[in-house]
Amino acid sequence: MKKPHWINHNNDHIRDNEKWLKKTIGLGLKDVGHEIEEAIEILKKANRHIELAYKKLQQSEFPKIGVIFETEKPTGKFRRLQFEADWSYQNSIY
């Protein structure tokens, strides 16, 4: 079972923010560090909610075939995202 893409994406941001947190604390910018720390906690909370949604999706009667969403990109091209029941995705631009 794969982790939802959004959790992996948020974890990347958490790691980057933790680096900036250390830098700001090292420079004595405690107020800035506090705000970054708050942002990290919000991302972690978001991950917990995404994980809960993912578990509920797995327990639901959600069809096992893909559901397709289309969004228009600023270039006018369309990106087709195919989400499977495990929320993994494939990108194809046409």
Neighbours of 10 (CB within 10 A): 19
Three-state DSSP class for 52? helix
| Per-residue model confidence as pLDDT tens digits over 72-93 | 445 544 444 444 444 444 333 3
| Per-residue model confidence as pLDDT tens digits over 15-29 | 999 999 999 999 999
pTM: 0.63
Per domain, the residue ranges of the chain are 1-60, 62-94
